[in-house]
Structures are given as C-alpha cells and as structure tokens.
Amino acid sequence: MKASFKTGLSFGLTSGVITTLGLMVGLHSGTHSRTVVVGGILTIAIADAMSDALGIHVSEESTNRGPTRQIWEATLATFVAKFVIAMTFVVPVMIRSLDQAIVISVIWGLLLLAALSFFVARAQAIPPWMVIGEHLLIALCVVVITHAVGDWVQGLVEAG
C-alpha cells in the first residue's frame, strides 16, 4: 500500500474510533438521548473528518517531502477512513437500546484499534501485544474520562 494511503487510513481509523467513542460515551452519560448521540456521531463523521483531513493535508505540505498527488491521497484517505469508521457507530445506536449500543460500540472500536495495532506492530517487527495494549489503554482512558465528564456536565445542568 502506498505510504500516503497508509498515513490517511491509519490516522483516520484511529481518530474515527477515539473521537467517536469519546463523544458517544460523553453524550450518553450526559444526556441519555439517542437523538443527541446520533447527532454527535454525524457531526464527527462530517466536521471532524474534514478537520482531520485538512490537518493531515497541512502537515504533509509543511514537510515538503512528496509530490502534491501524495498529499491529496493522504488527505482523501484520512477523510474517507474517518467518515466511514465514524458512520459504523451509527448502526448499533439505531438497532439496539442506547445502553447496549454504547457497549457494542466500545467493543467494536477496541476491536478496530486492536486490528490496526496488530498490523502496525507486524510492519515494525515488534511484539503486537505491546502496541495493542498501549493503544487500547489510551482508548479506554478516553472512554472513562469522557464518561466522567458527561456525568459531571449532567450534574451541572441538573443543579442549575
């Protein structure tokens, strides 16, 4: 696979999982509203995918390493990967209860990260368990922290 596509896909998948899970868990714990959670996912899929794609684009331009075509390949791959990954999280929210959908989404996101981490580790010839463990730990920290923030915000709203 071309390096530009690999950059975009790996960044888009990772960002798609982490930001979508964080937003979903935080919105769920703060609102318990399916509508709000779906709206958040759609926002991530569109606005954050475009933002990340532009971030990769500018980052690649600033390094002055490759032709313009490679920069645009990385940009497009980032957008598509982030958009598609984020949109996969809508499915459980639409077909299950919101509580079940959040659990399913966390498991789905962790599986995606574990699979990507496995391939990254193999490409670098390092033990997969180290890379997988590191990436899953970060994802779980995001889930725990955003859940706590959602609870905190809900408490502020109820108190005010």
pLDDT tens digits in sequence order for the chain, 160 residues long: 788 889 889 999 999 999 999 999 999 999 999 999 999 999 999 999 999 999 999 998 998 777 899 999 999 999 999 999 999 999 999 999 999 999 999 999 999 999 999 999 999 999 999 999 999 999 999 999 999 999 999 999 888 7
Distance, CA of 35 to CA of 93 (rounded, Å): 9
Rg (CA), the chain: 17
pLDDT at residue number 36: 97
Distance, CA of 78 to CA of 53 (rounded, Å): 5
pLDDT at residue number 63: 86
pLDDT at residue number 1: 75
pLDDT at residue number 64: 77
Phi, psi of 8 (to 5 degrees): -65, -45
pLDDT at residue number 96: 98
Token pair for 114: 């574990």
Token pair for 45: 């899929």
pLDDT at residue number 121: 95
CA angle, corner 135, sides to 123 and 83, nearest 5? 85
CA 88 to chain CA centroid, nearest Å: 11
* Domain boundaries along the sequence of the chain: 3-159
C-beta neighbour count of 159 within 10 angstroms: 6
